[in-house]
Amino acid sequence: MSVNAPGPSPSPSPQSGSWPAPPPRAADVLRSPQGLATALTVLLSAGAAVDLFSSGVGLYTRKLMTDYAADPAAVESGSLDLSDSLTTHTGFAQGLFALATAVVFIIWFHRVRCNGQVFRPDGFSRSAGWAIGGWFIPIGNLFIPYRTARETWEASTPYDPDGTHRRVSIAPVIAWWLVFTASELLYRFGSARYVRAETPEEIRDVSAFNAAVDLTAVVAAVLAVVFVRKLTALQRARAEELLLSRTVPGAATAAV
């Protein structure tokens, strides 16, 4: 079987750094996710830095509580106040970055999903709206976004010269999703423990636990950057390939 990519008359090649021209039909509009990917890289990197600092605050609090449990008189009240202040402010900063990152990520995620529909209309099990709604369904948000990400990744894979989809490792998607999901679940568990902690020993233990959770969030952010940048690069390559098939006579037919 063959797939014929219809298109307009030849047009100039895209300028360096620009996004290839979209297909002509309204249903086949490609929109560049590059700007959103850059914003996500910045947000994820800054958020990871805050998480790393928060991990240090957790270890600092753990040490204070260890000393306090052994001898309350050995710990100055100023140190305890500093620990409380740092914990509050870093938690606030983490919340702000998490919210901003989530908003930009979902916009980017929906855009690459829509682009994937142009590249491979038969490659998805759900409509593009699930790229947004899937994140807000209890239980479903543990697997719906992952499936959308995987299908988008596969749809964005460029073709080999023989007309088959190029084999590109799905490992970045799997690694990001596993660590991200684990980080979110651990964060919720740690937050619940922190609220219930009352004694110095309980605060010490939960502070150590949350410090480890923050490090998990740092790893998740790094893997998210890899996933975002790699998928964006795949879509750019596929878009350029699609544009070429519409501007070079005979290149529109690819064996499948």
Please check the confidence at residue 208 and state whether its pLDDT lies above 90.
Answer: yes
Cα 150 to Cα 90, 134, 175, 186: the distances in Å are 33, 14, 12, 24
Least confident of 1-5, 42-46, 96-100, 147-151: 1-5
Least confident of 18-32, 45-59, 107-121, 203-217: 18-32
Residues 6+ positions from 41 with CB-CB distance below 8 Å: 225, 228, 229
Question: How far is the C-alpha of 101 from the C-alpha of 228, rounded, in Å?
Answer: 12
Question: How far is the C-alpha of 133 from the C-alpha of 140, rounded, in Å?
Answer: 10
Please check the confidence at residue 187 and state whether its pLDDT lies above 50.
Answer: yes
Q: Please, which pLDDT band fits residue 244 given cuts at 50, 70 and 90?
A: confident
Handedness of CA 39, 44, 46, 50 (dihedral sign): positive
The pLDDT mean for the chain works out to 87
Please check the confidence at residue 186 and state whether its pLDDT lies above 70.
Answer: yes
Which candidate, 59, 46, 75, 4, places its Cα nearest to that of 225? 46
Q: Are 7 and 246 in contact (CB under 8 A)?
A: yes
Q: Are 114 and 128 in contact (CB under 8 A)?
A: yes
Comparing 256 with 226, the larger pLDDT belongs to 226
84-141 pLDDT, tens digit each = 999 999 999 999 999 999 999 999 999 999 999 999 999 999 999 999 999 999 999 9
- The predicted model gives 39-61 an average pLDDT of 98
pTM reported for the whole predicted model? 0.84
Tokens read off for 22: 């979209």
